[in-house]
Amino acid sequence: MANAALLRHVTIGQYFPTGSPVHRLDPRAKLVALALLVGAAVIASGYASSVLVVLVVALLVALSRLPAGQAVATVRPVLPLVAVLAVLQLLLGGRSGVAAGERALLTWGFVRLTPTSIRLVVVMALRLISLMLVVSLLTSTTTPGALTLGVDRLLRPLDALGLPSHEIALMVAIALRFLPILGEQMEAVMLAQDARGVGQGGGGRWRMLANARRMAALVVPLFADVYRRADEMVMAMLARCYHGGSGRTSLHDLSFRPADAAAVGVALVVLGAVIALHALGAP
């Protein structure tokens, strides 16, 4: 039951209208700034650069005036993954990437704990947290329509190469919009199976096999619901004579303002600072 209830706290794909300065930014500026911050988070390999990225993203979350607990609800689903990767890195990764002459803090059998392995664990955790926060910030401050229009405008120059920019933008928007819906559907399926006693049983050595069987019983109805929803969406679009590509107009036109340029500039400064810290070998 706890795992099913946890799915309702997935916030990626949900829009929270607070009227903040981040909400009023051009979606193209948000997408470019997102790409730059993602690049900074991936390049960051030390304590200083990783903390810098997390602080900038946290400042943006505070500036967007999202509901209390939004950041915690965003990070919560990846905490088990972070814990598993941290344990594996600490136990098995002590011999990889060790600096010359580095002394082990703890050696016990095949386990070798070093300052390098600890740094890799901290950097990995901060990287995953910052990536989850920045993606959630984009979807929480941008409506699906604005996000579709922004991706369409950014990819429109590639139409000359035969790339369907509007269709790609529409797929991205639909995928983000359906994330919370799929979470709710998965929760409903899990609660229905729990009410019927599916997956209940003893633990022990057969617990892993029971979890695999329950996962198979969960995936089948979930995929069936996904295909049903996709078919309903296709029929609705056909009934409305929807067609993408050239010739379509939008209700609200986009305008790039000084605030949008400032947002992209801040993201560029953060990326440049991370690259400089990486080049200097900062810890």
Give domain status of residue 120, yes or no.
yes
At residue 10, the pLDDT reads: 55
The structural domain count of the chain equals 1
At residue 245, the pLDDT reads: 64
At residue 107, the pLDDT reads: 67
Give 10-residue mean pLDDT values along the chain (283 residues): 50 76 91 93 90 92 82 76 78 54 64 76 88 87 83 80 78 75 78 71 52 73 84 86 69 82 94 90 73
HSE-CB at 212 with a 13 A cutoff on CA atoms is: 5
At residue 40, the pLDDT reads: 94
Nearest CA among 29, 65, 24, 58 for reference residue 41: 58
Instruction: Give the whole-angstrom CA distance, residue 163 versus residue 80.
Output: 38
Kindly state the tokens that stand for 224: 């069936």
Give domain status of residue 234, yes or no.
yes
Instruction: Give the whole-angstrom CA distance, residue 82 versus residue 120.
Output: 12
Q: What is the 3-state secondary structure (H, E, C) of 19-36?
A: CCCCCCCCHHHHHHHHHH
Give domain status of residue 11, yes or no.
yes
Contact indicator for 169, 202 with CB cutoff of 8 Å: no
Give domain status of residue 191, yes or no.
yes
Give domain status of residue 41, yes or no.
yes
Give domain status of residue 78, yes or no.
yes
Q: Which domain holds residue 276?
A: 2-199+209-249+257-280
Give domain status of residue 204, yes or no.
no
Give domain status of residue 229, yes or no.
yes
